[in-house]
DNA sequence: ACCTGAACACCGTTCAAGT
DNA sequence: ACCTGAACACCGTTCAAGT
């Protein structure tokens, strides 16, 4: 909220800026999905020539990276809790919350190799307590990566961009039962349904049991 | 290798078929990457009008789903081993091998919600031993899903479509050390490097310790 | 320093026509 | 049943021109 060098409020209406572009782009993704994003459509929404965007953003790929970074920046800062387990759990939930806040944009975070160092604070917040608890740094990093891999995989599923054997349709259940595969048939009622919340907690618990007992 | 109703060998040269299209598409992805895939370019490679593809494939999205299923079909059949742990480990390695066989196509498998029931045999191969060992089906499914989430997340990273804090560049190391974040700086040498093989084994071991002790 | 618009080389897909 | 090609409504980005 620092005043902006006396420029008139025009700035936030017609004045373009990387920030305004990224915010509008995220809104576009939220409303119409990732596939609907195009430089031209985004420019139309901003009331601007498509080429004007290139003054603030390095092309479409960079635009998508920018959106991903906006999401990452929304991970709430986490102060170390009473023990390792609760801080790690809080961070995992914070990451999940930030990503699920914009489900249609989520694949950008989960899928792109981000070059920048956004999201380094959350890493510090995990690594700090682990090191303080006496974990050797190498093992701490392995642990961090295992949890992160799990988070990325579950979130991809939650956001419905990854394979499940579900979405609870009646037919799905019948297909599974008729598959001719005995174990699949026996577990069909559970395969046909997927409660993301409990799947998330289940996997996270297992990992934290192993890492922060 | 069943003979094809006496049609001349022409079939595999100019004759189009879903199979030939998918094989050529996978080759195209392997050579030029996912972004290079277009119906028109694929048709050019097949020496055919772009519109001819639509006689065998339902559009571009369906084409990409088809490629993903080709990859999934390459998961080697796994016969149950001596114990739970080795069969589950074998399956995880089989999945990883199939995906890493076509790294540039991998995101298709890891990222798309597949409608079809390909890859149901691997599920049977995991669930069977779990149920036989007395696991309640609900818990078996949770376990399966936790492992799958981890696999998807790690593979996404291996295939370089997901965030890391590495690829072992000298500068990366220095950036991390200069980040001002003490734990990040302390663990910098390990953060700057990522051996996919050992990360994979580490995470898998933890999960299997919890699921098949 | 920023914005514009024409132009280029592409896309996926519909549709009517051919064999 | 399968293949074709013109046509439509889009793309991302370069480049020269404006202010």
User: What is the residue-wise DSSP string for A174-188?
Assistant: HHHHTTS-HHHHHTH
Do B107 and A112 make contact, defined as CB atoms within 8 angstroms? no
Domains of chain A: 10-57 (1.10.10.60), 80-211 (1.10.357.10)
Radius of gyration of chain A (CA): 21
Strand D bases, protein C-beta under 7 A: 2-6, 10-16
Integer Cα distance of B111 and B121 in angstroms: 20
- pLDDT single digits (tens) A157-193: 999 866 677 666 788 899 999 999 999 999 999 999 9
Contacts of B186 in chain A (CB under 8 A): 127, 131, 137
Kindly list the distances between the CA atom of residue A117 and the CA atoms of A25, A72, B90, B173, in Å, as whole numbers in the listed order. 21, 10, 36, 12
- pLDDT single digits (tens) A65-106: 999 999 999 999 988 888 999 999 999 999 999 999 999 999
From its phi and psi, is residue B102 left (phi > 0), alpha (psi between -120 and 50) or beta? beta
Kindly list the distances between the CA atom of residue B18 and the CA atoms of A60, B5, B26, B54, in Å, as whole numbers in the listed order. 33, 18, 12, 10
Integer Cα distance of A135 and A73 in angstroms: 27
**Position B145 pLDDT exceeds 80:** yes
Contacts of A194 in chain B (CB under 8 A): 145
Which SS3 state, helix, strand or coil, does residue A5 take?
A: coil
pLDDT of residue B8: 36
**Position B5 pLDDT exceeds 60:** no
Pick the closest to residue B207 from B148, B132, B133, B158 (CA basis): B148
| Most distant pair of Cα atoms in chain A: their distance | 73
Integer Cα distance of B167 and B164 in angstroms: 8
Quick check: A194 contacting B, CB < 8 Å?
yes
Integer Cα distance of A210 and B166 in angstroms: 24
What is the residue whose two structure tokens read 């890492």? A211
Among A6-15, A90-99, B1-10, B191-200, the minimum mean pLDDT is found in B1-10
Contacts of A174 in chain B (CB under 8 A): none
Quick check: B190 contacting A, CB < 8 Å?
yes
Q: How far is A152 from chain B (nearest CA, A)?
A: 5
Integer Cα distance of A92 and A126 in angstroms: 10
Do B137 and A186 make contact, defined as CB atoms within 8 angstroms? yes
Kindly list the distances between the CA atom of residue A163 and the CA atoms of A36, A59, A132, B84, B96, in Å, as whole numbers in the listed order. 22, 31, 38, 24, 15
Instruction: Give the contacts of A114 (CB within 8 A, at least 6 positions apart).
Output: A65, A68, A69, A72, B163
pLDDT of residue A134: 96
Distance A51 CA to D16 C1' (A): 13
What is the residue whose two structure tokens read 């003054």? A55
pLDDT of residue B168: 67
pLDDT of residue A11: 40
Which residues between 75 and 104 in chain B have a beta carbon less than 8 angstroms from any beta carbon of chain A? none
Sign for the pseudo-dihedral over CA of A31, A36, A42, A47: negative
Could you tell me which chain A residue has the CA closest to the CA of B186?
A137
Counting residues of chain B whose pLDDT is more than 90, the rounded percentage is 80
Q: How far is B76 from chain A (nearest CA, A)?
A: 17
Quick check: A121 contacting B, CB < 8 Å?
yes
Contacts of B210 in chain A (CB under 8 A): 206, 209-210
What is the residue whose two structure tokens read 């934290």? A208
Out of A131, A175, A202, the one facing B117 most closely (by C-beta) is A175
The model's pTM is 0.92
pLDDT of residue A200: 98
Sign for the pseudo-dihedral over CA of B73, A160, B126, A150: positive
Q: Are A203 and A154 in contact (CB under 8 A)?
A: yes
- pLDDT single digits (tens) A113-132: 887 788 899 999 999 999 99
Among A44-53, B21-30, B115-124, the minimum mean pLDDT is found in B115-124
């Amino acid at each position: 909220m620092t005043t902006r060098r006396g420029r008139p409020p025009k700035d936030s209406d017609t004045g373009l800026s990387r920030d305004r572009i990224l915010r509008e782009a995220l809104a576009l993704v939220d409303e119409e999905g990732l596939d609907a994003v195009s430089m031209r459509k985004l420019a139309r929404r901003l009331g601007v020539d498509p080429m004007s965007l290139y003054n603030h953003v390095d092309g479409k790929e960079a635009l998508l990276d920018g959106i991903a970074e906006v999401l990452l920046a929304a991970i709430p800062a986490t102060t170390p809790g009473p023990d390792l387990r609760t801080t790690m759990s809080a961070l995992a939930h914070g990451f999940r919350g930030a990503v699920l806040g914009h489900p249609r944009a989520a694949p950008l975070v989960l899928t792109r190799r981000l070059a920048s160092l956004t999201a380094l604070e959350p890493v510090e917040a995990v690594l700090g307590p682990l090191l303080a608890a006496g974990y050797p740094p190498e093992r701490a990093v392995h642990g961090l990566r295992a949890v992160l891999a799990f988070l990325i995989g579950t979130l991809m599923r939650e956001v419905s961009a990854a394979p499940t054997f579900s979405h609870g349709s009646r037919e799905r259940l019948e297909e599974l039962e008729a598959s001719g595969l005995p174990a699949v048939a026996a577990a069909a009622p559970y395969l046909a349904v997927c409660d993301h919340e409990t799947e998330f907690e289940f996997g996270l618990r297992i990992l934290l049991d192993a890492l922060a007992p």
